[in-house]
Structure 1
Amino acid sequence: MGHQPILELYPWEPGICFQHPDAGAVQTTVVRELRTRLGNVEDIRACSSCIVAMEARREELALEAGVEYVPGHAGEPFTAD
């Protein structure tokens, strides 16, 4: 599967990528939510290059585990169930 079909699985909006904060506001998607001690919820956002890398790693893990790779779940824990 190419990069564009994978990226189209995610909603995008301007934000700060957790891996590339120096890039400033770029198109990002939420990959996790972090609950602070005060109870606030902070979005952890990733840019398209990070999503592509995260999806590639999930695909590798699926291949190693002998399970079907299902894109669109970057940021979620990988399970081979």
Structure 2
Amino acid sequence: MNRQQILDLYEWEPGICFRHPAKGEVPTAVVGVVHPIEDGEREVRGCADCVIAMEDIRREDAARTGVEYEPGRVGEKAG
């Protein structure tokens, strides 16, 4: 899959990237969830560059461990 095909697997909304807050509001996708002690649940959002970087890490991990890589799953709980 190419970069755009992978990005198309995600739902994008305006937000602040967790790694690039200086960019301001940009299209972001959910890449995780945190649970602050007194604040319920908070989504962690990433820009397209961060989503692709995280997908690259997932693909490399899958190749190293011999499991099938399935794009579009950054931010999901591991099975």
Percent of aligned pairs with the same residue? Answer: 47
| 1:78 to 1:37, Cα distance in 2 relative to 1, 3 A | closer
Matched, 1:17 2:17: yes
Post-superposition Cα deviations, 1:36-64, rounded to whole Å, max 9, x if no partner, equal 11142211000000000100110001111
Amino acid corresponding to residue 37 of structure 1 in structure 2: I
Paired residues of 2:26 and 2:47 also in contact (CA < 8 A): yes
Matched, 1:32 2:28: no
Matched, 1:72 2:72: yes
Q: Distance in 1 between matches of 2:40 and 2:14?
A: 20
Q: Size of the alignment, in residue pairs?
A: 79
Amino acid corresponding to residue 24 of structure 2 in structure 1: G
Q: Distance in 1 between matches of 2:78 and 2:65?
A: 10
Q: Distance in 2 between matches of 1:23 and 1:39?
A: 25
Q: Distance in 2 between matches of 1:16 and 1:5?
A: 22
Q: Distance in 2 between matches of 1:29 and 1:5?
A: 14
Q: CA RMSD in A?
A: 1.6
Report what 2:62 is aligned to: 62
After TM superposition, what 4+ stretches of structure 1 lie above 6 angstroms from structure 2?
A: none
Q: Which runs of 5+ in 2 are unaligned?
A: none
Paired residues of 2:33 and 2:75 also in contact (CA < 8 A): no
